[in-house]
Chains A and B, each alone.
Chain A
Amino acid sequence: MTLSFRRRAVNALMLTLTGVCTTLVAGILLVILGYLAWNGATSLNLNFFTKLPAPVGEAGGGMANAILGSGKVLLVAMLLGVPIGFLGGVYLAEFGAGMFSGVVRYVTDLLNGVPSIVIGIFAYALVVQPMKRHSTFAGGVALGIMMIPIALRTTEEFLRAVPVSLREGAMALGASKSRTIFTIVIPAAKSGILSGLMLNLARVAGETAPLLFTAFGNTFWSPGWLNETATLPQMIYNYAISAYADQNRQAWAAGFVLLVLVLGVNAAARFAIGRTPARGRS
């Protein structure tokens, strides 16, 4: 029985359309990269990495303070968020059972879904209000809280993937449970956990909203950890909406640098894990 022309036409049309959709979506990545490279790379110069922002209207400034500020904020975030997420993940994978674990998982998922601007409000109430100042530390707290759910999920997932036979092998030699976990299971999972950490850092490195009223911003260097500081994404935002062409130009340059860093770490980490994790972000 031959297929009717209509059915064959619909088949060909719809299948072609799906290919078009795919090209469109994949093409977006190329457009983004291309445009940023074109506008950003050409604006990159040594000043960008070494100079402070110039006064409004003047050319020749840079974003050295923002680059350093981002680094400091990320450091605080990592020191706060990773231990909690990692140890929590160890608990869920190795010790947990029953209702408490279920509740922890649910609440962690909940926390993961909180919009980053709301986390910013939380960090403001928690740190900025009592201290009565904006600070690098407050920004780090905000980003650190955002790092916890992903660190926990990644740790739990990779620990669970370690085969039971390895654990039994160690325990059969007289190793206690905690010894087995720390000398056998965690080392076996370490490349996955580290890659997950890289992905996590790359994700929060690009966050702007939670920093707007915690780290706030600054046109100068920010000494120590308790002063307001510029960060790269926040500078991109401020300069992108500015009326001055020179600042717009710098926004492109900063955007290019940020994108290369974020996508570079992402691609490398995902390659290392060996698969494309789907639901890692929401």
Chain B
Amino acid sequence: MTNELKAMTPKLTREPEGQDHVRGREPDGDTPVGKSTVKLQTADLNFYYGAFQALHNITLSVHERQITALIGPSGCGKSTFLRALNRISETIRHTRIDGRITLDGSDILKMDVTALRRRVGMVFQRPNPFPKSIFENVAYGVRVNGLPQGSSLKEVVEKSLHRAALWEEVKDKLHDSALALSGGQQQRLCIARALAVDPEVLLLDEPCSALDPIATAKIEDLLFNLKSQCTIVIVTHNMQQAARVAQETGFFLMGKLIEFDRTEVMFRKPTQKQTEDYITGRFG
């Protein structure tokens, strides 16, 4: 069993593809689980679409400044879970959250939702840039939430584009339409847009599923560099991606959290049979 697993498990250390224009690469030194603080936590979270229960008693802790991946087959509830973390699920009618979700210990359901969303940003599955210029896209969140003290809008936009590894490609055409960019560039623009408001947590819902492998690699690189400043939660149906980028991984199945552990453990020695079945491709 373990040999089979070993054979199927991809390399777990992150190997950068090519050099990006980001300021240097961080060493692969993650803080081990026990010693890192909990940033985002759910306790007995249940989620309903009308009468249908999509999530059952999810209890999970996302640790600060790490990448946490959520994997599982289609329809298992991982996206639903992610969308509850910044309450964007509330834009759909007849949804109900039951249980606790806390950010730094405070209940997010009792918070003002627009304040929550400034602290917890989101990048969506398909790139969704606004039909505005590149500059205006990144500036939007800043205009809504206010400029931080001592910076100008231009500075914030430039910094965000750097963090999203997009600056070099767009610095000469900031006022061109965002829709003229390629798919991969648009997605990095959406990341820049989300970063412009300096969120503490960044949620990404299958951000690379609509992109080609090269664009995917660029985004994985930038996420890796980002994690030291920002807590990242990424939903992915690509197990290799989870193995590549995440320190901790959670496996969802039919609305339940089957297993949650450090990524190496999940992929080499999962404790649950269902996890092992999924990872070895017996279903999925």
Contact = CB atoms under 8 A, between A and B. Distances in A.
Interface of A: 97, 163-176, 179, 183-184, 187-188
Interface string B194-205: 100100000000
B121 interface: yes
A171 B88 contact: yes
30 contacts: A97-B93, A164-B91, A165-B126, A167-B91, A168-B91, A168-B124, A169-B124, A169-B128, A169-B130, A170-B130, A170-B144, A171-B88, A171-B91, A172-B88, A172-B117, A172-B121, A172-B194, A173-B117, A173-B145, A173-B194, A174-B114, A174-B116, A174-B141, A174-B145, A175-B140, A175-B141, A175-B144, A183-B144, A184-B130, A187-B132
B140 A170 contact: yes
Contacts of B86: 172
Contact of B141 (A173, A176, A188): A173
A188 B132 CA distance: 9
Contacts of B131: 166, 187-188
A180 to B, nearest CB: 9
A-B complex: 5 closest residue pairs judged by Cβ atoms:
A173-B141, A165-B128, A172-B122, A174-B118, A174-B117
The majority secondary structure among interface residues of chain A is helix
Contacts of A169: 124, 128-130, 190, 193
Contacts of A97: 93
A167 B141 CA distance: 13
B51 interface: no
Contacts of A183: 140, 144
Interface string B130-171: 111000000011001100000000000000000000000000
B115 interface: yes
A116 to B, nearest CB: 37
A164 B121 CA distance: 17
Given A169-B128, A173-B117, 17 more contacts: A166-B128, A166-B131, A168-B88, A172-B86, A172-B88, A172-B194, A173-B140, A173-B144, A174-B114, A174-B115, A174-B144, A174-B197, A175-B141, A183-B144, A184-B130, A187-B132, A188-B130
Nearest to B145: A174
Interface in B68-89: 86, 88
A167 B131 CA distance: 12
Contacts of A166: 128, 130-131
